[in-house]
Amino acid sequence: MSIILVFIGVLLSSTALDFTGAQSVGVCYGGNGNNLPTKQAVIDLYKSKRIGKIRIYNPDQGALQALKNSNIEVILGIPNDVLKSLTNAQAATDWVNKNVKPYYPSVKIKYIAVGNEIHANSPEASSVLSALQNIQKAISSSNLVQIKVSTAIDTTLIGKSYPPNDGAFSDGSVGYIRPIVNFLVSNGSPLLANVYPYFSYVNNQQSIGLDYALFTKQGKNEVGYQNLFDAILDSIYAALEKVGGSNVKIVVSESGWPSEGGTAASAGNAGTYYGNLIKHAKGGTPKRPNGPIETYLFAMFDENQKPGPEIERHFGIFRPDKSPKYQLSFN
């Protein structure tokens, strides 16, 4: 999750229920803490709260075992430090054979996220396209065509974001992102994007109101937007159009608000943001009015070992003891 401008279905028991299409909102599950519940207890919490989508950041075998027959849809992450090895086609095949084939379809892997928030000048940048292609070939040759292969970006790749219709990737990012977008177009895959109105607001308080960031603004602004989330998302859609990705769908692979540790970080603001985002995701944006917006809240738990500023450890919608921080409904 980047600190700059910048992303949950249905079970009451261990018996799988069918809730296909019932929800557009999931929750990211990060394990960067020393006080978190067991993997099985976490997945049981997803079930009991009727959270039908999950994002995990690596192929954790315990989490994947717990997800079997849960009917929870999964974004399965490939960590950034693995990407270079996956530029070797055999290594990519081995990765799929180890981390996908033993679990699918009893684990409903929907997307594979090849890297997270890699920038054009990152050491991993030169590996992303090749890793995407090799994982896609391994998926296709295994006849796992329902699984879509993508990568997760943050909004630092966007050079211009306002007005949203003028959204464009930065000059330094275009050469990196264009071939990735071509890959997504060729394979009918979405772009995963981590969208954080919180950071946009904190970094631009003179021009952005808190109500605009929290979905509580009354009426639209001068360019027809009522909230910052839609403005950011549509700026990415506009940027995609300019690099040949007009038909690429965006999945919001992270979005959240911290409950303490920094400017405007409070339980009140965070609860308002998450609750309003869950409702808002049922619809669309001005540029893409036909919803819902598939969105993954960040994150399931406060993670006390997450590096970075204090706010990074306070994005959870649950405490480590599994008690809810906010009254949210995923029905």
Per residue in 160-178, is it b (16+ CB within 10 Å) or e — as a string? ebbbbeebbbbeebbebbe
Handedness of CA 44, 323, 294, 38 (dihedral sign): negative
User: What pTM was estimated for this model as a whole?
Assistant: 0.94
Active site residue 254: yes
CA distance 194 to 299: 12
Percent pLDDT > 90 in the chain is 92
Residues 146-204: tens digit of each pLDDT: 999 999 999 999 999 999 999 999 999 999 999 999 999 999 999 999 999 999 999 99
Distance of CA 168 to the CA centre of its chain: 20
More confident position, 16 or 31: 31
Instruction: Give the helix, strand, coil percentages of the chain, each rounded to 5.
Output: 35, 15, 50
What pLDDT is stored for residue 18 in this prediction? 37
- Mark whether 303 is an active-site residue: no
Exactly one of 73, 124, 241, 254 is catalytic; name it.
254
Q: Which of 117, 124, 260, 294 is catalytic?
A: 117
Model confidence band, residue 1 (pLDDT cutoffs 50, 70, 90): low
pLDDT surpasses 50 at 12: no
What SS3 state is found at 213? helix
Mean pLDDT of the chain: 93
- ∠ CA 154-158-163, nearest 5°, is 125
Tell me what the mean pLDDT of segment 233-253 comes to.
Answer: 98
Q: Each residue of 40-97: pLDDT tens digit? A: 999 999 999 999 999 999 999 999 999 999 999 999 999 999 999 999 999 999 999 9
pLDDT of residue 13 exceeding 80: no
* Other beta carbons within 10 Å of 330: 19
- H/E segment holding residue 154: strand 148-154
State the sign of the Cα–Cα–Cα–Cα dihedral 316, 322, 326, 331. Answer: positive
